[in-house]
Amino acid sequence: MDNINLENIEIKESQNKKIDILRTKMFNFLHILHSKKDVVGSKEFHQKQIEFVDNLKKKYPDYEHYRLYHLFIGSTPWEDCPKFDFPGDDSIEKLINSLEAEDGR
């Protein structure tokens, strides 16, 4: 196996681990939000989620090629996603981590 294939495998494994962590954070945030029976907070979060995703769709015509996009909206990619996360303030990883911080964890 050449170095490029080995690097690709290591990158995919690292991304899969990160996805597992982010999925858990997202699940925990939503579980806490719903367990508080905070209907207003829940609606506000879902509205922010919709706005965030709409913005991504406008800025990135290839938004479906990002693995974390599918994690965030709760879908399964229909093909292998060549990209992982969006850059800068559009980062879904950054957004999920900020949700966790807001929750005081």
| Ranges of H-type helices in the chain | 3-35, 39-59, 67-73, 92-102
Residue ranges of domains in the chain: 3-102
* pTM for the predicted model, two decimal places: 0.81
Per-residue pLDDT 10s for the chain (105 aa) are 566 688 888 888 999 999 999 999 988 888 887 777 666 777 888 888 999 999 999 999 999 999 999 999 999 887 788 999 999 999 999 999 988 777 554
> Which residues fall within 8 angstroms of residue 35, CB to CB, at 6 or more apart?
none
Q: Nearest-5° angle of CA 52, CA 43, CA 75?
A: 50
